[in-house]
Chain A
Amino acid sequence: MNNMEDIKSRIDEKFETTNGLESDELIQLFKDAKELENEDHKAKLFDYFIKKLKDAFKEWEVSKEGIEKNITEIREDLKAAGLSETEIDDLFNRNEFTIENILDSEKEQEENEEEIVEQEENEEEIVEQEEKEIEKINKRINELENGKEQKNLEELQESLQKLEEEEARLNNTQYEGYKEHLDKKARLEEIKKEKKQLQEQIKNAELKDKLHNLEEEAKLNSTQYENHKEHLAKKERLEAIQKEKREIIGKLKNKDLTTKQLQERLTKLENKKNELHQKLKDAPRHHTSYSEMSKILVEIEQVNNEINARLQNSKELEKLKGISAAYKKIQDDVQKELKNEKYNDYAEEELKTEVDRLLNEHELISELDKYENADKLKAELKEDIFNNLKSKKIDKKETNKKLLLKGLAAVAGFGTGLALSSVPGVGTIRMGISGVKLVSSAINAWSKKHPDGKIAKIKNSANEKLNNKFPKLIEKVNKMRAKLKSEPLNWFVNGVAAGYITGNIIELVTGETVLEHLTGDSKNVEVTNLAKETGATDNAATSTDNATSMASETDAVIPEINPAEITLNQGEVVDLSSITEGFTSSTSNVPVDVMEQVGKEVMFDRAVTLPDGKVMWHFKQLNGAGYAWLEAEKVQEVLAKAAEVAQTASKSL
């Protein structure tokens, strides 16, 4: 027996399957409904069917033609179930089941949907605009607060990462209940908004960072440029000063002007003059012709002129020596006067004024006036003193552990004990025991000459000897080397190890020479050594240009060159190619072969007096690399000998 609920379920089922409205089933369904005794239920069922049908048309978006076709078919089915035309019309009328109504209803729904969509879109636009406004305000606030409240880029990226992680986690969440589903949906929306904001902030922060970097770079470039410009200007000026000084020193050191050479020349000329005078005296006796006598007189005149020129040079020499000594003395005195810290409070201009005052008040300042370009020389002296005393601005400060360790390694590596000593007159401080670079160069030279692995022999031998000599230290060094793998620290360790090898390496590699021994014909090369002049005598310096006074001048004592009096200035270039052996450190007593060809032009660097009184001089190559430590006495002998050779050369003039 059919009842209303069963038939209703069958109607629902019919529409839910969406398999189409099969006529046979519908007819049976209508028949069953029609047979219900309760008229009210019967009507409700048919109305329910029509309502479902209307909804289905809307849901399925059936076209007009489709609706017409379906209505016709439904009418046929209703008829087949036994309903009259009137009943059918009544059913359709009371449910307003017409094509127009159905289509209007669809249209209305579409409009409503569109309106909803439009409304939603408007809302989104409003939200978006509001968000943009909020962002703008936030950005402005951040700008106003100069970034103080703005999180830095790293923090922002961290926040974004967290959000993305949360988003991924939420998206992966399954089996949530309805409420959880809504919460998740809401949170995802929030995350979306927050992400958008964060991405914008990150973009701003990146731009800000980039701008900051560009500004810093621009600032740095500008500073570097200024520094470079200043450096170049200074370099140019310093080079000019150095050139000028070299010229003075050159004049002072010119071998043609050495007093001894001058005296030799004067003697030679004096003899020549006497010879000529004698010829003149003997002229009547020898019936010398007038023309021949005239020739002798001309020759005497020439000799006199040459003597006068030489004497003038001698005076010039003395003058230049006086200027040079005065320059150094004034510099020392003024710097000493200003050392009492009081100039620390001076501004640069005040310091310049003070240097100027002390210069002008110095008793030797008039000596500088003897120089042909006195004003320039004074300006250079003033600049020299000022540069030594003025404070210099620290342009940049940054941490550099690698260089710290290298620096400490250099200090530690200079010997078994630190022996710092200052270079007089300048700010440089050197190690009393030096040679790390010398050893390094030696090893390089050795490895170039012996690319067959003998370098390893040196190292092994060195390590072996070091182990015997400094077992505890080497143990520690090796321990550190094993434990600390960082490159900078290894630099330190290697530097220390190299330093301890310094001065001992030749001893360590017994029987081997490290520095390349060049056997060229260095003994035959032209000697260009520059020896210190012993100075012209007062007699020579004050001699007149009168030829008649020359006889007394020849009595002047020609001082011998005393090697012990020979000194060198820092940076002075000499030829030491005749010295074939040197030392890798000031304290080493094991000589090594030196590169004689390089020794043709080496620069004096510094002197060290050892506890036993022996003086060692260090020389550098022209490129700044170390050359060797040499016994001062030996160098002085060589330089004195060179001066003798120069004299011999001048005698042949």
Chain B
Amino acid sequence: MDIAIGDLLTIEGKKYITLEKTTYENNEYLFVNEVTNDEEDVTEDFYILKVVDDKVRIIVEEELKNVLIPKFQQLLEKDIKELLEEE
């Protein structure tokens, strides 16, 4: 499944907004922010999801998270900076 930044995903009754995506070792990963059920606001919980076809898996492995978090952090900082500089 092709997932883009800004896609709101519904997974097992919970909703997540895709803030960032990246590829690592030929696998696609998403950085998502959990959304309130009424889709009005975001929560303070973020997750890294691995995408396999139309399924995702929440990354719980510390080692993998430690690799991916800095990558996402860098991408997010870049996106936010660009958005702030956007005319």
Interface residues of A (CB under 8 A from B): 227-228, 230-231, 234, 335-336, 339, 344, 388-401, 403-404, 406-408, 410-412, 417-422, 424-431, 434, 436-437, 473, 476-477, 480, 483, 492, 496, 626
Q: How far is the CA of A428 from the CA of B65 in the complex (A)?
A: 10
User: Which chain A residue lies CB-closest to B31?
Assistant: A429
A406 touches B41 (CB 8 A): yes
B51 to chain A, nearest CB (A): 8
Q: Give the residues from 40 to 87 in chain B that come closer than 8 angstroms, CB to CB, to chain A.
A: 41-42, 44-48, 50, 52, 54-66, 69, 72-73, 76-77, 79-80, 83-87
A509 to chain B, nearest CB (A): 24
Q: How far is the CA of A465 from the CA of B54 in the complex (A)?
A: 48
Within 8 Å by CB of B11, from A395, A425, A430, lies A395
CB-CB under 8 A from A422, the residues of chain B are 62, 65-66, 69
Q: How far is the CA of A469 from the CA of B83 in the complex (A)?
A: 20
Contact with A along B8-19 (1 / 0, CB 8 A): 111111000111
A406 touches B42 (CB 8 A): yes
**Given A339-B64, A407-B17, A408-B83: A397 and B59 within 8 A (CB)?**
no
B35 to chain A, nearest CB (A): 6
B62 touches A410 (CB 8 A): no
B44 touches A227 (CB 8 A): no
Within 8 Å by CB of A428, from B1, B39, B45, lies B45
CB-CB under 8 A from B41, the residues of chain A are 406
**Given A397-B1, A400-B17, A404-B18: A430 and B46 within 8 A (CB)?**
yes
Q: How far is the CA of A398 from the CA of B58 in the complex (A)?
A: 20
**4 nearest interchain CB pairs?**
A427-B58, A391-B55, A407-B33, A396-B10
Interface residues of B (CB under 8 A from A): 1, 3-13, 17-19, 31, 33, 35, 39, 41-42, 44-48, 50, 52, 54-66, 69, 72-73, 76-77, 79-80, 83-87
CB-CB under 8 A from B79, the residues of chain A are 408
B42 touches A392 (CB 8 A): no
A392 touches B57 (CB 8 A): yes
A412 touches B80 (CB 8 A): yes
Q: How far is the CA of A394 from the CA of B10 in the complex (A)?
A: 6
**Given A396-B9, A399-B4, A404-B18: A410 and B61 within 8 A (CB)?**
no
Within 8 Å by CB of A421, from B9, B50, B69, lies B69
Q: How far is the CA of A570 from the CA of B62 in the complex (A)?
A: 17
**Given A228-B13, A422-B62: A480 and B84 within 8 A (CB)?**
yes
User: Which chain A residue lies CB-closest to B59?
Assistant: A427
A-B contact pairs, 16 of them (CB 8 A): A227-B10, A230-B12, A336-B61, A344-B52, A389-B60, A397-B9, A398-B8, A399-B7, A403-B39, A406-B41, A407-B35, A408-B79, A424-B62, A429-B47, A430-B45, A436-B44
**Given A395-B10, A403-B8, A420-B72: A428 and B47 within 8 A (CB)?**
yes
The interface centre, meaning the residue of A344, A412, A422, A426 with most chain B CB atoms within 10 A of its CB, is A422
Q: How far is the CA of A399 from the CA of B10 in the complex (A)?
A: 11
B9 touches A394 (CB 8 A): yes
Q: How far is the CA of A390 from the CA of B58 in the complex (A)?
A: 8
User: Which chain B residue lies CB-closest to A410?
Assistant: B42
**Given A412-B80, A496-B84: A420 and B17 within 8 A (CB)?**
no
Q: How far is the CA of A420 from the CA of B70 in the complex (A)?
A: 8
